[in-house]
Structure 1
Amino acid sequence: MAGLPLLAPHAAPQPMLHVWRGSALGANAELQLHHPDPAEARRLIRDSLDEVARLERQLSLYQPDSALLRLNRDGALAAPPFDLLRLLAEAARFHALTDGAFDVTVQPLWDLYAGHFARAGADPAGPPAEAVAAALDRVGQHRIHLDADQITLRPGTAITLNGIAQGYVTDRVVERLRANGITQALVDMGEARALGGHPMGDAWQVGLEDPAAPGQIAETIPLRNRAVATSGGYGTRFDAAGRFNHIFDPADGRSSWRYAAISVIAPDATTADALSTAFSLLPPERVAELARQAGVTVHVARTDGTRVILA
C-alpha cells in the first residue's frame, strides 16, 4: 500500500478544468480533466467512476464478494475476470524483476500481524517466531496457478493487491480518457498519473508526502505523461510504538523500515506502484540498478530525514 501523492494546486482555478474528489480502493482519490464542454466533462467523469467501480468488483479486498475476496475465500476462481487475471500476470512479472521482493501472497502476514495486535495485551515484540514461520509457509508466488479458465491458490495462501491495484486502476482510467480524446488530465486513484500537461501550459505538480509529517508536502515534482507512486511503512502501523508496518518482506516475514518512504516516477502507474512497494525492501545499490533497467526515477526518503534521488 502506498502513501498518497498530494496534488499541489496551481495558483488559480481554470474554468475548463473539471475536478472530482472521492475514494477508490479504500484510498482518497481525485480526477482533474480539461475539457471545454462541462456536460461532456461530467459524462467522462461518470464514465471513469463506472470503470473504477467495475474494477473494484474484481480487485478490492474491501468490497463484499469481489472476485479477489472469493478467490481468497475458496482457494480457486473459475472463469476469472480479465483484469484480475491480467493484474496477477503483471504481479508475477514484477516478482521476477525484483528478485521476489514484490509478492502479492503476503496477505497471511498481514492477517497475522493485524490479528496479533488487535488482541488485548498483545506482546509488543510482535507475533512469535513460530507463528511468523507458519505464515511464511503460505507465502510465495509459486503458490498461485494462473490459467485463463481458473486461478488456483495452494491451501492457506491469500492475495493482496494493495501494492499494485491502485496504480492499475489509475492506468485504466487514463486509457479511457485518452480513448475519449482527453489530452490533459491528472488521475489519482491512490497513485497519480498525468496525461499531458496542466492546462496552464506547464507540468502537473504533485507533492510527495513527508513521512515524518503525514499530510504535509516534503517535495513537489513536475509530472507530464508520467506516473508517481509512494510506499512507506508510516502509512499503516499495526502497533502503538510504530515498530511494525504493512511493508512485509516475503523472505523473512518481518516489517521493513529500511527507508521512511520510496517514490517511483515511471511511464505508467502500475509500474510505479509495484516498484515503490518492492524497492522498499531492497538495498540502495539494487534499487539503483533496477531503476536504470526499468527506466524509472526513485525518490528516497531516508529514515534520518534526508532525501536522495536514484535514476
Structure 2
Amino acid sequence: MPTNLSRRRFIGVTAAAAGLNLVPFGFPAEAKAHLVTWRGQVMGAVATLQVHHHDRAAAERLIERSLAEVRRLETVFSLYREDSALVTLNRNGVLIAPPTDLITLLTECRRYWELTRGAFDPTIQSLWALYRDHFSSPHADPDGPPASTVKAALERVGFGGVTFDANRIILPQRGMGMTLNGIAQGYLTDRVVDSLRAGGIESSLVDMGEPRAVGSHPSGEAWRVGIADPEHPERVSDTLNAVDQAVATSGSYGFRFDPEGRFNHLLDPRTGASAKLYRSITVVLPTATAADALSTAFSLLPPEDIERILQRLGEGQVRLVTASGETIRLQA
C-alpha cells in the first residue's frame, strides 16, 4: 500500500463527513461520570476514544496510557513508517527476532486465511502496488493493468507460503509484500480495550480504525450504532445495537483507483480483481480483530459462504447491501 493512502473504507458507523466511526444516539450523559474524548489519526485512519469515568484525571491518564500502546504498535504494523517492523520485513523479505505482537497478529491472519479459504490474505501488497502504479501513470488504460501483469503480481500473493515463528518471518518470494491494514486497526482497537478494562473502565467507545463498544452505555442501554449509506456516506441509512461488540464496515467505494470506480481497494487475492458483489458489508463480532478481517474477506464471498463461516464461528451478524441495492442480514 502506498504511504500516502489509507485502506480505511471511509464508511462505518456514522456519517463519514464527521470523521467518526461510532457514536451513541439519544442517550443522556450519566450524571456521575465524566466523558473524556480523544480524536486523532492511527495508521492513516481517523481514530476516536471515548471514556466514561467518575474521575476525569484518571480517565485522561488511561487514555494517555492507551495511546502510548498504540504508538508502540504503529512501529510494528504501520506501512506509513519506514522504521516499522512490517516495512523492514517487506524490504528485506525476512525479519529476525520479530516483535511478539507481529507474530500474534500473523497467527490471527493464518486463522482467517484458513477460515475464508484464502479470501483474506495479507500478502496482496504486490496487487495493490500494481493498481496504484498503473492508475498513477499518465494516460493510464481505463481498463486496468494488462492481464499479464496482474498474473505476475498474483504469483507473489499467497499467505500459505509465508513461514513465521518467534525467531523469524520469511517471505518466500522476492517482491512479495504484506499489508496488515485489513486487520491491524482491529487489533489495535482490541489492545486499547484490554488496557482500559485493566484500568477499571466498564463503558467506553474505542475506534483505532475499527470501532468497538466496551460494555453498554452508562444509561444501561445498548449503544445504538449508525451505519452509513454506501451511496451517500454522510447519511445514516440504518442502526444496530452494540454491547461488548465490535463493528466493521467495508465498501467498494472506500477507495477507488480510477475516476469511474471500476477498480477499488478490495482486491481478491485469488483472482486479482476488485470486489463487485456488494456496496457495503457490516460485520458485528465480539472482537474488532475478527470484525476487521472478516469484513474485508466477506466483500469477496457470496452470502452462502459467509453464512457457512458464521455458523462455523457460532457467533456474529452480517449486513450486506448488494450491488443491486438489496439488503441481506445473516446471523450465526
Cα distance in 1, alignment partners of residues 248 and 311 from structure 2: 17
SS state at 2:101 partner = helix
CA–CA separation in structure 2 for the residues paired with 1:20 and 1:222: 23
Summarize the alignment of residues 58-73 of structure 1 with structure 2, pairs less than 5 Å apart: 58-73=76-91
Quote how far apart the aligned CAs of 1:5 are.
2.7
**Aligned CA distance change for structure 1 residues 242 and 282 (closer, same or farther; 3 Å):** same
Which residue pairs with 1:204 in the alignment? 223
Change (3 A) 1:214 1:180: same
- Give 1:305's aligned amino acid: G
Counterpart amino acid of residue 73 in structure 2:
L
Q: Distance in 1 between matches of 2:25 and 2:277?
A: 34
Contact 1:193-1:226 at 8 Å conserved across structures:
yes
1:156 corresponds to: 175
**TM-score normalised by the chain length of structure 1:** 0.97
Quote the residue 2:70 is aligned against.
52
Maintained 8 Å contact 2:266/2:299: yes
Q: Matched residues in 2 for 1:200 and 1:290: separation?
A: 34
Measure, in 2, the Cα distance between the counterparts of 1:281 and 1:183: 36
Q: What secondary structure, in the 3-state scheme, does the structure 2 residue paired with 1:233 have?
A: coil
Question: 1:17 touches 1:199 (CA, 8 Å); kept in 2?
Answer: no
Matched, 1:35 2:53: yes
The TM-score, its normalising length taken from structure 2, stands at 0.91
User: Could you tell me which amino acid in structure 1 is paired with residue 82 of structure 2?
Assistant: P
Alignment match, 1:5 = 13
For structure 1, the 5+ residue unaligned runs are none
Match of 1:244 in 2: 263
Per the TM alignment, residue 23 of structure 1 is displaced from its structure 2 partner at its CA by: 1.3
* Deviating 4+ runs (over 4 angstroms): 12-15
Residue range with higher mean Cα deviation, 195-204 or 165-174? 195-204
Task: Tell me, in whole angstroms, the C-alpha distance in 1 between the residues paired with 2:29 and 2:202.
Answer: 18
Q: Provide the rounded CA distance (Å) in 1 between the counterparts of 2:211 and 2:35.
A: 17
**Which amino acid is 2:12 matched to?**
L
Q: Which residue of 2 aligns with 1:109?
A: 127
Q: Deviations over 1:136-191 (max 9, x none)?
A: 00000123110211111122110011110111000000000111111111101111
- Higher alpha-carbon deviation: 168-177 or 1-10: 1-10
The amino acid that maps onto 1:310 is: L
Deviates more, 1:148-157 or 1:10-19: 10-19
Please say if residues 4 and 190 of structure 1, whose CA atoms lie closer than 8 Å, have aligned partners that are also in contact: no
Measured after TM superposition, the shift of residue 210 of structure 1 is 1.4
How far did residue 10 of structure 1 move?
A: 3.5
Of 301, 305, 324 in structure 2, the residue corresponding to residue 286 of structure 1 is 305
Opposite residue 302 of structure 1, the aligned amino acid is T
CA–CA separation in structure 1 for the residues paired with 2:180 and 2:12: 16
2:205 to 167, 176, 186: 186
Q: Does the Cα contact within 8 Å between 2:29 and 2:218 map onto a contact in 1?
A: no
**Which residue of 2 is the match for residue 130 of structure 1?**
148
Q: CA RMSD in A?
A: 1.2
Q: Which residue in the other structure is 1:300 paired with?
A: 320
What is the CA-CA distance between 1:13 and the residue it aligns to? 4.7
